[in-house]
Structure 1
Amino acid sequence: MKNLLLATSLALLGAVPIAQAQTAAAPYHLLRTIPIGGEGGWDFLTVDPAGERLYVAHGTQTEVIDLKTHKVIGAIPNTPAAHGIAVVPSANRGYVSCGRNNFCVIFDLKTLKNLGTIATGPKPDALFYDAFSKRVFAFSNDGGKSSVLDPATGQVVGTAELGGDVEVPATDGKGHIFVNIEDKSEVIEFDAKTLAVRHRYALAPGAEPTGLAFDAKNNRLFSACANEKLVVTDSKTGKQVAVLPIGSGVDGAAFDSATGNIVTTNGGDGTLTVIHQDTPDKYTVVATIPTAKGARTVAKDPQNHLYTCTADLGPTPAATTENPKPRPSIVPGTFRVLEFGK
């Protein structure tokens, strides 16, 4: 994902409430707002279906929400500039990438205790546990080198040379991992065990892809791009199937297999774009649903509920020599998770 505080730059007009314009016909509506509070920026959210928890990267700590009660039940401390979270129930371990510090924090799933750090490649961003290879991938958003970890020990067991600034991954569950390359405007496939890159697929006219979702049944990749386009790619052939308009400031994408909907979270204009898969080769934009400015990342649970997060913004500090383009401040105590469903 972009810099941890990118949400602020995407929300120069300030946070807005969930609009009353949603109708009964909308494919998703706001189910609840979960207040978290605190300070700092935000990035990824990760659902742990086994533990029925939602993990949210938030400033210098990682919030933990119980999905049964919809309450904050704790936090993983000392995760500076937190970006991504990966959960490995079989090892009772979780990992948080800390982009500015070039390391991942290891934590205990039961106690949430911080168990220490492991050095990674530069700017670790998205984190992903691949059950097929039984590895954790710490994808670097700088330098093209991504670290591969043993989830039981946290030790680096390999380096994936992916050739660009890596963003969000997806998997077919059979040893093939797909990931967006932001600076090259590509989506690539690499082998989860050998780490060899198998294919590179150009996304033009899409540019700077971030969010990625995958339809395993029909072998379709959905790359959400910064220039307000969603590009659909056949993962087997690399053929570009469709290009759809989406909102601004996107950083997340999800595929709802129960309905055939692809959803992007657009933090710039504070919306969800909902695109329906009419057939594997035909897609239609069916709704634009208000969320809030800055709500740009997304996680999905097994019930196809969607989670995103944001906060209100305060004044923009004066420009300085060290910081000539300051971003708006974040109003303390306003950070929250928004849950959407049908």
Structure 2
Amino acid sequence: MAKWGEGDPRWIVEERADSHNVNNWHWKEVDANKWSEKKLKELLEGMVVEDGPYQFELQKDLKVNGESMASNRKNKLIAYWDYSLELKFKLKHKGNEVESKGTIKCPNFSQENDPDEWDLTSTKYDKDEHYDAEGLKFIKAKAHPVMRDKMEEYGKLLRSDFAASVCQVTAANTPTKSAQSITTNMKKVELNKPVEAKKSTTTKTSGSQIKTKKLLLKETFMCTVAEVYNVFIDKQRVNAWTRGAMQSYNPDKNGEFVLFGGVVTGSFVELEQDKKIVMKWRLRHWPAAHFSTASMAFEQTDKGAKMTLEQSGVPESDIERTKQGWKEFYWNPIKFTFGFGITV
């Protein structure tokens, strides 16, 4: 046994008047959205690429949609971002002084994708087909690689500069996503405009016909199958990744659960240790008494724990909204909270 004052300093508990999180042993999370938008603008806006007869320049009107966060748990830093980007550009041909404008979009700028997997798509406004072909060829060959380098630099800075600042967070800085904010955001997801789905089936609920569709999602967590399975079974872990938005949770067969202020409710149908979880699952605004069947299957791979979610009985008009909800309120918070995403 270590003597008083010796041993791993992370285990030394101090009574502090300022409630400081000593050595950052407890979970902390910081919203990186404002920092990220500013940094991406610094890196991308005004970027110029010149080669041969062409001069390419990104304009100062970057549009950023998505989220980024940094967290610290047990002194382990984690950075995460998932954005879609849209920028306008000018392309000038020096020989004839012709200048055209266009847009570059990247819908999958995320740390989960490698730089060469970020989809950069360029379109131009002018109608000169030959000039379009040559100009866009130049943009793809010369401008896109420079943009990827800048975007990759953002990821490095998020980890080295911003995420490192998480170590300085004190109790005075409250976590970004509290139970109240998550519940509020879940309500916003409920109210989003429905997206029509195809290849639907019809389910009869309480005498009414409901068109439904099947949802298939796959997600990889950087951990073991046992660890991610327990995230859905252990009540303390569930309370952690829902940020306290767990009203009730009974992880046994036929046990019921209520999450996010009642936005999500259901019950467990089947539990197979480290292999499968089957639930009856619904969103509050769905037709009364209508439940989908959500089945999670777990598989260990060389990249981590792979989870496949098959969900049948999702109302046709709610398929995209439900897909968004799984990612925003399940997968991402789990990765943030337990370090099952990217580590710095």
TM-score band (shorter)?
under 0.3
How does the TM-score come out when normalised to structure 1?
0.22
Higher helix share: 2
Q: Which structure has the bigger radius of gyration?
A: 2
